[in-house]
Structure 1
């Protein structure tokens, strides 16, 4: 159980995230500025930047000794996990935000000396607020999520982008292609934070991506831990919180089935 300090901190974070959500909704009526980062599908908007600046400013003002790791670079230069670190994605699913004005989320995680304390994912348009405080379970809009129950792969929905079962630079498509046929269905929502939250709530049973940054998964992995799920790299190794990782998150029962029957027999750990 976390002490009053962390509960107060959670209250501030929730207030700022909800306010940031209002700022995003207000932007729907305005023209947005779009820039490309690494390629034409890797987008950032003026709203991403404004939201991260809003959150970072509030954090630094209220907690000057805390550090912020943010996707858009308005936080601090993080070299170690020492102290209290906030890991922020102002809009996870920017392409969805630009094209659909839905299926994107604000993701905020708070770690202390490398240990996760608070995780929050806010699906702004759906008004769904996932949160957890370490050791107290995970919640969706104040309702506690149950522990994940045993399930078979043939009954499961897996979050998987088509990129990873077509020609790409990160994995042989033959590794994951058989999984498409073995699962009940494959879904792709375009937001890692939302898809990991969906695994925590049982809407999805697994999610795989070959390249995610800390702000994509830092909050979600805390939710997953609270409901008894499992999150690793694609080859089953532990995730490094402050690096890009492949991410494989799932109901613990199908995690082992997928890992040992579909991935490890073909996957080169190197």
Structure 2
């Protein structure tokens, strides 16, 4: 994708994301129909579907040759990553949306021939837009984010951990993860993968570790964190495919090997 095409697309998509966020805020306190998907904790609302339909309609109207990979049923079925693919989570952090009315985000990544070109994560209730275009830096609203500190030490780090790492799990030695919690400066759990990626990008957190995410959970975040020098792999340090469900470790590169070697691999039984 050439630079001019990418910039035109970015400006258009940015306006759509802000418009979708305004729609959510307008309807925030309307009565919600809440359904469950794979389990009672896996929630979806008509707002998730409405926001996804909003983007699906825009994409098909303006870019009918583009494809949409998304969570709530309005996307396309993909077997490969050829062409231009939009990867959308209309509300990342639906449980937070339902229960807290905050700490959720619109997450949208645009890929061309498998390469991440544009990423946007919109913290709807705080009106913070994290964005990036490939090789053009990452931004929070209009402020460019700095490259990550290359002298970071683990004991000065704040780590975002999915709660499944902390719960009893037959595949995880919780004692190792408890040691990690003791060894770092602090841990956090926000309930929105997109926001945790955004916090790593801006240096508010130094790593995010989770056992399983879908492509739409990471599509925007992986583009944004790479622009500030963060690494993103699975928990074994391997590249993560665009269409696959995977464990995720995204972090400041100075602590990547230590997290895998001294903690994650030891925790996995």
Instruction: Describe the shift of the 1:80–1:175 C-alpha distance in structure 2 as closer, same or farther (beyond 3 A).
Output: farther
Aligned partners of 1:233, 1:174: CA distance in 2, in Å? 21
Corresponding position: 1:252 with 2:232: no
Q: Secondary structure at the match of 1:76?
A: coil
Aligned partners of 2:18, 2:220: CA distance in 1, in Å? 16
- Counterpart mapping for 1:188-199 below 5 A: 188-199=189-200
Equivalent position of 1:11 in the other structure: 11
Shift of residue 170 of structure 1?
Answer: 5.4
Equivalent position of 1:122 in the other structure: 122
Equivalent position of 2:59 in the other structure: 59
Contact 2:215 2:243 in 1 (8 A): yes
TM-score w.r.t. structure 1 length? 0.96
Shift of residue 266 of structure 1?
Answer: 4.6
TM-score w.r.t. structure 2 length? 0.96
Q: Secondary structure at the match of 2:59?
A: helix
Equivalent position of 1:168 in the other structure: 169
Equivalent position of 1:201 in the other structure: 202
User: Deviation string for 1:67-117 (max 9, x for gaps)?
Assistant: 000111211111110000000000000000000110000000000010110
Equivalent position of 1:187 in the other structure: 188
Contact 2:162 2:211 in 1 (8 A): no
Contact 1:205 1:250 in 2 (8 A): yes
Q: Secondary structure at the match of 1:117?
A: strand
Corresponding position: 1:213 with 2:214: yes
Instruction: Describe the shift of the 1:243–1:170 C-alpha distance in structure 2 as closer, same or farther (beyond 3 A).
Output: farther
The count of residues paired between Structure 1 and Structure 2 equals 268
Contact 2:164 2:211 in 1 (8 A): no
Equivalent position of 1:34 in the other structure: 34
User: Deviation string for 1:204-230 (max 9, x for gaps)?
Assistant: 000011010000011101111100111
User: Deviation string for 1:159-197 (max 9, x for gaps)?
Assistant: 013321211365443442321111111100000000011
Q: Secondary structure at the match of 2:129?
A: strand
Equivalent position of 2:102 in the other structure: 102
Contact 1:2 1:133 in 2 (8 A): no
Aligned partners of 2:170, 2:5: CA distance in 1, in Å? 45
Where does structure 1 lack aligned partners over 5 or more consecutive residues? none
Aligned partners of 1:257, 1:50: CA distance in 2, in Å? 42
Q: Secondary structure at the match of 1:16?
A: helix
Contact 1:175 1:267 in 2 (8 A): no
Contact 2:171 2:268 in 1 (8 A): no
Shift of residue 3 of structure 1?
Answer: 1.6
Contact 1:200 1:224 in 2 (8 A): yes
Instruction: Describe the shift of the 1:167–1:122 C-alpha distance in structure 2 as closer, same or farther (beyond 3 A).
Output: same
Instruction: Describe the shift of the 1:47–1:266 C-alpha distance in structure 2 as closer, same or farther (beyond 3 A).
Output: closer
Aligned partners of 2:226, 2:161: CA distance in 1, in Å? 21
Shift of residue 5 of structure 1?
Answer: 0.9
Aligned partners of 1:87, 1:255: CA distance in 2, in Å? 26
CA RMSD of aligned residues (A): 1.4
Q: Secondary structure at the match of 1:246?
A: strand
Where does structure 2 lack aligned partners over 5 or more consecutive residues? none
